[in-house]
Structure 1
Amino acid sequence: MKKILSIILILAGLVLLLTPFLTEQIIKHYNKSIPINEITAENMKSNNETEVDFDFSSVRDVEIISIIKGAMNFNKELVVGVLLIPDLNVNLPIFKGLSDANLISGAAAMKVDQVMGKGNYTLAGHNMKNKDLLFGSLMDIDIGSTVIISDGYTIYEYPIEN
């Protein structure tokens, strides 16, 4: 009985130690699995017609359970644009709708009726400790840097101002 309990405790400890690494690896996998340069403007326009949820309360913090659930619901056909921040080497897809699946893979449009180029286009994203993942490097942005979004037809540039 003591042997079994010891093995269970060791395995539980290993899982706890590996959780941050596994979380990062899952996010890297889904973020890299979207061939942004292969998604056409027509695809993005068509994807934007898809009806999805915009329930911010359904989004969870980045933790292993939300990552696994998000990975199971991942849909790359919800990409409606691209977000670039050249100074930070950020290149992320913009997904329609708020969900764990969308947020582990890129940025998510926050409102149903928003349109790129018309008023504010609000996005949600996860800020990660690893600066190479998602919005992890966003705190390093400098005044004068440019944030670029595109729907495949038009490029919209936003300078970072004080």
Structure 2
Amino acid sequence: MKHTQKIGYAGIALAALSLSLSTLAADPVTPKFTDKLSRLLQQEMRSVQSAMASIHVSMVTGKHEQVATKAQQIHDSFILKQSLTEQDKKDLMSAVPEGFVKLDKDFHRLAAGLTEAAKSKDTQKQYKLYNEMTGSCIACHSKYVSDRFNGLGSP
């Protein structure tokens, strides 16, 4: 009897947890973007995707300088920083919630850390930070871009 009670309580706790997590999912932000912002962000994301793939290969082959270069490029948000007007920045900030901005800042902070880990040739730290960056991508995409990445499920 006690064993079934424990399973029952665990099941109730898991159900409550998944219900509370499902309420954390935000409305997708992509429909709120102007055409220009949407285009720039997609271009930026393709650049990040390419850099992340390059970092992975460079990291597992011990090419620390290449890891540092690509991680720095991610940190600097090359395309957005050069392409956004003041109005674009206002449009972006009005389209995204605070949680989105926090995830973005954390992602760029991790990229800066990855740059430093690569410069010091600390492969284990690179691996840890790269995994955290990947987790950050998944968290953001599942919460704020669920209309494009519905295979990720709830955050």
Scaled by the length of structure 1, the TM-score of the pair is: 0.27
Scaled by the length of structure 2, the TM-score of the pair is: 0.28
User: Which has the greater radius of gyration?
Assistant: 2
Q: Which has the higher contact order (CA 8 A, sep 6+)?
A: 2
Higher strand share: 1
